[in-house]
Structure 1
Amino acid sequence: MLTIGSVVLGVANVPRAAAFWMEALGYVPRDEIEPDWVVLIPAEGTGVQLSLGLSATPPQDHPRIHLDLYAGDAADQAAEVERLVSLGAQRVDWDLYPDDADFIVLADPDGNRFCIIDTGHG
């Protein structure tokens, strides 16, 4: 049986992306950060790996695949959004929000979209 070993993001600058995602998620490099590749793992040892690979392809405005990061409630979501923005994420003027959205769309320093989900939302 197969399992997912790692989620891979294409980035324009691996060291910059690694610095953002390590701070954002509390991850550490599994091995040395190379100019074109790094695998990040949870500092606590269990969880999904995040691999960052050098890519010349620009990020998509409406990506088919993205990360959902879970927050406990609306207050936690707001605090996490502010924390991530302070680390270099950018708010995205998302044109596809439903009326009662439980998510906020951000972009990492390379422009990759990801969502912060309020898991306590109705």
Structure 2
Amino acid sequence: MLSIGSVVLGVADVRHAAAFWTQALGYVPRDAIGDRWVVLVPAEGPGVQLALGRSESPVQEHPRVHLDLYAADAADQAAEVERLVALGARHVDWDLYPQDPDFVVLADPDGNRFCVIDTSRG
């Protein structure tokens, strides 16, 4: 049986991306951060690894794969969005929002889109 070992993001600057994602998720580098590659792991306990690999591919406006980060409720979501923006994320003018979204679309400093989800809404 297979399991997901890592989620991999292509980034232009591995060190800059690692600085953002370690602060955003409370992760640490598994090994030394290189110019081409790093694997980030939870600082405590189990969890999905996040691998950052240098890429020259352009960022997709509507990516086929992205990260969903879960917040406990609307207040937690708002606080996390504010914290992530302070770390260098930016709001994305997302043209595919439904009428009453339970998610906020952000982009990391490299432009990779991700969502912060209010999980209290089911």
TM-score (norm 1): 0.99
- The CA distance in 2 between the partners of 1:77 and 1:39, in whole Å, is 26
SS at match of 2:69: strand
* CA-based RMSD: 0.6
Residue matched to 1:26: 26
- The CA distance in 2 between the partners of 1:45 and 1:9, in whole Å, is 22
Residue matched to 1:80: 80
Determine whether 1:107 maps to 2:110: no
SS at match of 2:70: strand
- The CA distance in 1 between the partners of 2:73 and 2:26, in whole Å, is 20
Alignment of 1:31-42 (within 5 A): 31-42=31-42
- The CA distance in 1 between the partners of 2:13 and 2:45, in whole Å, is 25
Residue matched to 1:8: 8
Equivalent position amino acid for 2:84 in 1? L
- The CA distance in 1 between the partners of 2:113 and 2:16, in whole Å, is 16
Deviation at 1:45, TM superposition (A): 3.1
Residue matched to 1:116: 116
Residue matched to 2:91: 91
Deviation at 1:58, TM superposition (A): 1.0
Spell out structure 1 runs of 4+ moving beyond 3 A. Answer: none
Which sections of structure 1, spanning at least 5 residues, go unmatched? Answer: none
- The CA distance in 2 between the partners of 1:101 and 1:111, in whole Å, is 21
Determine whether 1:44 maps to 2:40: no
- The CA distance in 1 between the partners of 2:5 and 2:105, in whole Å, is 25
- The CA distance in 1 between the partners of 2:58 and 2:111, in whole Å, is 8
- The CA distance in 2 between the partners of 1:90 and 1:58, in whole Å, is 17
Cα deviation code 1:27-68 (max 9, x no counterpart): 000000000000000000310000000000011000000000
TM-score (norm 2): 0.99
Matched pairs, number: 122
Equivalent position amino acid for 1:88 in 2? G
